[in-house]
Amino acid sequence: MIRTLIVEDDPMVAELNRRYLEKVQGFELTGVFSNVESALPVIEREQIDLILLDVYMPGDNGWSLLSKIRWLGKEIDIILITAACDKESIKKGLRFGAVDYLIKPFEFKRFEEALVSYREDQLRMDYQERLDQSVVDQLLLHKEQKPVAVTELPKGVSKDTMKKVWDHLTEIKKGNFSTEELACKVGISRVSMRKYVNFLVDINILETEVAYGTVGRPVLMHRIVHLNQEIIHNYIDV
């Protein structure tokens, strides 16, 4: 999950951003703050991946927070969500390394595009050890041309077997199941199935929890979060 902060002084906008964020899979809201002073201790103390940041706030503004984050050496990405639409503000945001820039007011579709693009960029980086020039171009230069999700499966995960796993998941649809149960249905070892389950958890198709029985060791049980065919289609033909 991508741990996300919202830093926005307008309560209505902050609540709108929170509701929008809940609609996009793969993001976990860590906190909502109305000013830089209250957000900074959390940023210093916790592991944060992404901040949805306003520019104009009472006290220290968004530029100040961006400067402090860079000075602290924190590997935190920023999506600016602001009414500042002048050329200099946009240039400044890009110089500070903002991954996207949303101008208020905006619609959910644009918000969703920003977050999905960011999420898929992170997946692309996580599952490809080496990036060729075309991938770098898609990440940095031609974002509108890149696919919605990465197209290469992680090492040890094959398209044919993933297709079988997906077919069985569409039959299960709901309820809990273990790695061993899914491995038996697909016809591969439990060890091999762990790779497929872990990958599906990473792309928010599955979620996992520990089940404790009366005897024996606890068992990892999985359940389907959402059978997102649009995401899985970029890995296998479904």
How far is Cα 81 from Cα 76, in angstroms, rounded to an integer? 16
Instruction: With respect to residue 153, please indicate whether it lies within any of the assigned structural domains.
Output: no
How far is Cα 30 from Cα 179, in angstroms, rounded to an integer? 30
Domain that holds residue 216: 159-232
Based on the fold, state whether residues 22 and 91 are members of the same structural domain: yes
pLDDT digits (tens, 9 = 90+) for 153-205: 888 899 999 999 998 888 886 778 999 999 999 999 999 999 999 888 888 78
Q: In the chain, how many domains are there?
A: 2
Based on the fold, state whether residues 88 and 164 are members of the same structural domain: no
Contacts of 210 (CB under 8 A, 6+ apart): 218, 219, 220, 221
Picking from 221, 211, 217, the residue whose alpha carbon sits closest to that of residue 179 is: 221
Query: What is the rounded average pLDDT of the residues 34-52?
Result: 94
CATH number, domain containing residue 130: 3.40.50.2300
CATH number, domain containing residue 226: 1.10.10.10
Based on the fold, state whether residues 124 and 177 are members of the same structural domain: no
Instruction: With respect to residue 112, please indicate whether it lies within any of the assigned structural domains.
Output: yes
Extract the tokens encoding 201: 């958890």
Based on the fold, state whether residues 80 and 193 are members of the same structural domain: no
CB atoms near residue 69 (< 10 Å): 23
> What pTM does this model have?
0.57
Based on the fold, state whether residues 206 and 133 are members of the same structural domain: no
Based on the fold, state whether residues 88 and 170 are members of the same structural domain: no
pLDDT at 130 over 80: no
Instruction: With respect to residue 238, please indicate whether it lies within any of the assigned structural domains.
Output: no
Query: What is the rounded average pLDDT of the residues 134-149?
Result: 52
pLDDT of residue 131: 61
* Torsion sign, CA atoms 68, 70, 71, 72: positive
Based on the fold, state whether residues 138 and 182 are members of the same structural domain: no
Picking from 223, 139, 212, 153, the residue whose alpha carbon sits closest to that of residue 181 is: 223
Based on the fold, state whether residues 133 and 177 are members of the same structural domain: no
